[in-house]
Amino acid sequence: MEDEIGQLSALLCLSNSEASILLRHSNWDAYKLQDSWFTNESELRHRVGLSAMDNPTAAAAADQSDCRICFDSFSPDSFNSAACGHQFCRDCWRQYFATSVNGGPGTLNLRCPEPSCTIAVTEDLINKIADEIDRKRYQKYLLRSYVEENRKLKWCPAAGCEHAVQFAAAAGDPNYDVSCLCSHAFCWNCCEEPHRPVNCITVKNWIAKNDLESANENWKKAYTKPCPNCSKPIEKNAGCMRMKFAAPCNY
């Protein structure tokens, strides 16, 4: 993840935090992102919450002394802001981010607290103002985004495994079998055990058939008994305790 962010940052002359925001909004597809960037950079910046290159708001807010949230007065070095320049005290920033990160992965799309502002809060600012626990939770959400929104990555389906697996097969290669560092092998398409040359639909139908047969067997074990003579399953659902079986058993 860091390598992809660094490469894009160097290519587009952006900070790593800005490159990360762009990649997340493109589902971590660098080629798709580059196409959008070079087609209409201004529109893409506006859509993801990155400030324009010439942003007058930041300079205008430099002399602010009152926090826009708690309205207390502070020295200039007690304020922080996103790229928009809207200044808030560190305590308000910290509480704002803590509330957001408690709400789940949506914190990755956090914007400036100013009601009319749509500028994104970058990872650089978060690392500067948030406490250690919240920073770690943010990194966890970022990693989940990288794996779960990336078409080339998946979490290993093995129980208890926390590794992600990358699919690196060449275009047109019919082999979807992959293996994890934990040694668990599975089909990339359906996450079942490797099943070449059988296709995924056939495997899905086979599993459903086996599940149905297993359910039937469990029902037989719970509600029937074997005949003492021929061992066929029998069910008693009414009448007296005496039972008579038909031919060919006749027991």
Active site residues: 240
* Amino acid letter for position 5: I
Distance CA 225, CA 184 (A): 40
* Cα angle value 218/222/228 (rounded, 5°): 110
Distance CA 86, CA 88 (A): 7
Q: Which residues contact 242 (CB under 8 A, 6 or more apart)?
A: none
Alpha carbon distances (Å) from 73 to 95, 145, 181: 18, 38, 54
CB 149, CB 27: distance < 8 Å: yes
Greatest CA span in the chain, whole angstroms? 101
Helix or strand run (H / E) with residue 156: none
